[in-house]
Amino acid sequence: MSDPRIAGASVTQFGKHPERTGRDLFAEAGLEALSEAGIDPEDAEALYYGNFMGELAEHQGHQGPLMAEAIGLDVPATRVEAACASAGTAVREAVKTIRNGEAEVVVVGGAERMTNIGTAAATDALAIAADDLYEVRAGMTFPGAYALMARSYFDQYGGSHEDLAHIAVKNHEHALVNEHAQIQKEITVEDAIDAPTIASPLGLYDSCPITDGAAAAVLTTESYAEEHDLDAPVAITGTGQGGDNLALQDRPHLAQTPAADKAAEEAYGDAGVGPDDVDFAEVHDCFTIAEVFAIESLGFYERGEGIAAARNGETTRDGDRPINLSGGLKAKGHPVGATGVAQLATVAWLLDGSHPRADAVPDSTVGVAHNAGGTVASTTVHVMEVQE
């Protein structure tokens, strides 16, 4: 069994691209990833593509073969949908395909076009990742759902909106040098606290933006990389996936994310590492409280302790374990179907030293990507390591 090597990766500029289609965005990312890898498209044997709301935003389903065509591939192409974890799930399928010997070269990616339909329609489209019968029809939106989760966390463990503000400030600061980031703007704790309320206790700066964008990566076997003299020092050594009840009212908890617990446990076991071995992580912070859930599920903090991590400077770029050096979804942006692969690319670039924030994690050898769907009903975790 060969752990896949990341031979090349690419991320488009995240933000508003009203003039561009999803296939155009993915073509940019996919062709650049292939070029960076130095791989002939004819050597690719499969494409796994993450997308969540293509039917609603572009009236386009069956996007797998469409995106393969966009980057010049004549391969089996599969669209993967797991809400905001679509791309992370696509990565997992690509990893399994290489590990089981079905392919030596696999392209994995994702894209989402969201801003063209406006904020209200995008909010409605995203809401279908919740339980339509029992949540959406009652008026539930994801800001509201995560507000409920935040309130539950505060009630059970303590914490405040000011703690969440420190997470927003940190991730905005991390994004300042990320050329792909949608928001490159420094904010203060006071800015975050005083911003308009979206769903109490969450404010404007607690929420990620609506984003257009794409990401792609080329995965290969170790033997293929060696045979073709590819520069591919980073391997995906662990993969895990977990699930939970879709609707919040069907869960015995609102202040924990057991789907992420399961995914992390599986990924760590697969890689043969533990939380203490991880140097940094890119986690799914669609809302600031989601970063707290993530770092606790990943085993970096005990329950109730993650809320103070940013305030204490432990997850900043100068901290012991930096979190979301890209700026996270909060500032980098969140083109839903692309996010998991964008996280993968960021971790790879931080490990090989090519990311602008790599100086914050010098000599790092282990990074983690955590990608969640809905109110964390779906989660993937991937461990990446530098190989000799």
Percentages (nearest 5) of helix, strand, coil residues in the chain: 45, 20, 40
109 beta partners: 49, 216
Single out the catalytic residue among 180, 284, 334, 370. Answer: 334
Instruction: Give Cβ neighbours of residue 115 (< 8 Å, ≥ 6 apart).
Output: 16, 17, 18, 122, 210, 211, 212
Helical ranges in the chain per DSSP H: 22-37, 54-58, 63-70, 86-99, 118-127, 142-157, 161-175, 189-194, 222-227, 258-271, 288-297, 328-332, 339-352
Single out the catalytic residue among 84, 174, 284, 382. Answer: 84
Token readout for 366 is: 């282990």
Euclidean distance between CA atoms 17 and 25, whole angstroms: 9
Token readout for 94 is: 């690509």
Largest CA-CA distance found in the chain, in angstroms, rounded = 57
Helical ranges in 100-141 per DSSP H: 118-127
Is residue 208 annotated as part of the catalytic site, yes or no? no
Helical ranges in 195-287 per DSSP H: 222-227, 258-271
CA distances for 127 relative to 135, 142, 146, 176, 229, angstroms: 9, 6, 12, 30, 46
Euclidean distance between CA atoms 375 and 62, whole angstroms: 26
Cα atoms in the 13 Å half-sphere on the side-chain side of 156? 14
The end-to-end CA distance of the chain, in Å, is: 17
186: helix, coil or strand?
Answer: coil
How far does Cα 182 stand from its chain's mean position?
A: 15
Euclidean distance between CA atoms 339 and 371, whole angstroms: 8
Residues carrying an active site annotation: 84, 334
